[in-house]
Amino acid sequence: MVDIRNIDKKNRTVYYDDGSSITYKNFVDRFRQFMKQRIAGESLYPADMERFMRRTSGKNLSQLMKGKKLEGYFEGVSDKLLTRGQKIAIGTVVAIIMVAVIVFVILRNQGLIPS
C-alpha cells in the first residue's frame, strides 16, 4: 500500500511515497472506484451522505430525523400564516368597519351628521 506524501494545490497533483504522481481528477476517479461496493454493498458519493450517516450511528440518524422533522414543521407553519379563527376575526372586524363607514356616509348625506 502506498501512502500520499503531498498534495500540490497549485498544480492539482497528488504525490505518493513511492515517487509516482497523479492528477487530482484521476485521484478522485480512482478513489471512487476503490470505494465502490465497500460500504453496505453500495457506491459512495457525496450525494449519498444521508444514507451513509444512517448506517454509521443511531445517534446520527436520530439527529437527522429531528432536523428533518423541524424543517418540515417550519415549512408547514410558514404556509399557514393565519389560523381559521384568526381569519374569521379579521373578516369580522373588516366587515364591521365597512358597515360603519357606509352608515356614516348615509347619515352625513341625509344631513343628520353635520359636515
Backbone φ/ψ region at 36: left (φ over 0), alpha (ψ -120 to 50), beta? beta
Residue in the block written with cell 366587515:
95
Q: Tell me the three cell numbers of residue 102.
A: 357606509
Please list the residues that pair with 21 across neighbouring strands: 15
19 to 15, 26, 55, 105: CA distances (angstroms): 7, 16, 37, 94
Q: What is the DSSP letter of 41?
A: T
pLDDT digits (tens, 9 = 90+) for 47-98: 555 555 555 555 666 676 777 777 777 766 666 677 788 889 999 999 999 9
pLDDT digits (tens, 9 = 90+) for 11-50: 888 888 888 888 888 888 888 777 776 655 555 555 555 5
Give the whole-angstrom CA distance, residue 80 versus residue 69: 17
Positive or negative, the CA dihedral 105, 110, 114, 115 is: positive
Cβ proximity of 40 and 55 under 8 Å: yes
Tell whether the model's pLDDT for residue 102 goes beyond 90. yes
Domains of the chain, by residue range, sit at 4-81, 82-115
